[in-house]
Amino acid sequence: MDKGRSRTTDPLTSHIAGGKLKNFTKDHGRILKALHEFDTLTDSELEELALRRHWPMSGKDYYRRRRSDLKTMNLITATDQRRANPQGNLETAWALNIERKTRMETQTGASFDEGNIIFIDLGDDTYGVKGKDLQPGAEVKVSKKNGGKATVIIDEIIDEEDGVQTATFTWPDTVGEALQNGQIIFTQTDNGEWLIKGYALIEGEEVEVTSRNGKKRTVIVGAIHSVDEDGLQTAAFENVESDMSDLLADGRIIFIRDDGEYLIKGKGLVKGSTVKVTKANGKKVKVTVGHVISDENGIQTATFTSINKSEN
């Protein structure tokens, strides 16, 4: 089952670091917008612009350091232009790299007035969304590069300029919604074991489980592993025998249940031999073949002995 994770950092310092990251993200965005507007800027020109537009932290070489961040993130590049600063020293002019410039020009053409919302790169491997009338907690459709739409939930507004807002976002809990609607899903534990999750699971009943790709599969509910305070259950499961024909055709050996007794089924079962059996969760275990009960079309059903255990 899912393991709890304890905090290894001090809550206060984590909060401070989070606040700094949020501020840096805003300031990186200001610089990128300025470079898109002016094409090229030296550090002195950038600091002057920050003062003129009353950007936070302006006038202390702060934006030179944030510009350096953007160079490290490969979002901007040095040009071959050099211009004199107020002291008469030549400084390098900086510009957006081609990929970033193209992306921003594409985004600038988005029709925010018509309700369009787009994804934007905030730097530091962080993405946000941009659009008008964004409301924290609202579920919105965001345009993707491939022309499709993705649903996200607006988290926090971190910037606003000319009525266009930039916000962080979270993905909606579609799994939780599906469970609430009565679906049963597959879930994987930290040790790789596959289980099923849903409401009103009853051991021994056949249920239809929806996989991530939307396909449905019938399984038999096994032992209930846990039930949370809302009644959401996690349980083991067994594959319905009719659904295992493909595995048998591939030469796999599987466990089946016959009148409450567990047996193995597959090709080439010989009494006394050791074989690997595929469990419902996909893992394989070694067993020793016991008595062969039946042989139909080259597929045998047999009892078995688990390694170091008595025969089933």
Instruction: Tell me if 12 is assigned to some domain.
Output: no
Instruction: Tell me if 161 is assigned to some domain.
Output: yes
Assess contact for 175 and 210: CB atoms under 8 A. Answer: no
pLDDT tens string 67-80: 888 888 778 889 99
Q: What CATH number is given to the structural domain containing 37?
A: 1.10.10.10
Strands 216-227 and 232-239 come out as antiparallel
Higher pLDDT, 281 or 41: 41
pTM, rounded to two decimals: 0.34
- Give me the helices (H) in the chain, please: 11-38, 43-52, 62-72, 98-108, 174-180, 245-249
Instruction: Tell me if 163 is assigned to some domain.
Output: yes
Tell whether the model's pLDDT for residue 187 goes beyond 60: yes
Q: Which residues pair with 227 in a beta bridge?
A: 233
pLDDT tens string 238-286: 877 555 665 666 677 888 877 767 889 888 899 999 998 877 656 678 8
Tell whether the model's pLDDT for residue 83 goes beyond 90: yes
In this structure, the answer to whether residues 211 and 228 fall within a common structural domain is yes
In this structure, the answer to whether residues 74 and 97 fall within a common structural domain is yes
User: E strands within 162-193?
Assistant: 164-170, 185-188
Query: Residue 237 has which token pair?
Result: 């499961």
Instruction: Tell me if 96 is assigned to some domain.
Output: yes
In this structure, the answer to whether residues 81 and 118 fall within a common structural domain is no
CA-CA-CA-CA dihedral for 213, 248, 187, 275, to nearest 10: -150
Encode burial over 54-92: b for 16+ CB neighbours within 10 A, e otherwise.
ebeebeeeebeebbebbeeeebbeeeeeeeeeeeeeebe
Higher pLDDT, 116 or 212: 116
Range of the domain at 82: 22-101
In this structure, the answer to whether residues 124 and 188 fall within a common structural domain is no
In this structure, the answer to whether residues 86 and 149 fall within a common structural domain is no
Instruction: Tell me if 221 is assigned to some domain.
Output: yes
d(CA 79, CA 294): 79
Tell whether the model's pLDDT for residue 111 goes beyond 60: yes
Tell whether the model's pLDDT for residue 222 goes beyond 70: yes
Instruction: Tell me if 176 is assigned to some domain.
Output: no
Instruction: Tell me if 124 is assigned to some domain.
Output: yes
Assess contact for 59 and 131: CB atoms under 8 A. Answer: no
Q: What distances in angstroms separate CA 63 from CA 48, 104, 122, 311, one per listed residue?
A: 10, 20, 16, 74
Higher pLDDT, 77 or 109: 77
In this structure, the answer to whether residues 229 and 251 fall within a common structural domain is no
In this structure, the answer to whether residues 123 and 76 fall within a common structural domain is no
Q: Single out the residue in 101, 121, 144 at which a domain terminates.
A: 101
Instruction: Tell me if 179 is assigned to some domain.
Output: no
Looking at residue 273, its pLDDT comes to 92
d(CA 294, CA 300): 6
Tell whether the model's pLDDT for residue 7 goes beyond 60: no
d(CA 308, CA 229): 38
In the numeric block, the tokens 């409301």 are attached to 135
d(CA 165, CA 14): 26
The total domain count for the chain is 4
Higher pLDDT, 269 or 178: 269
Tell whether the model's pLDDT for residue 98 goes beyond 50: yes
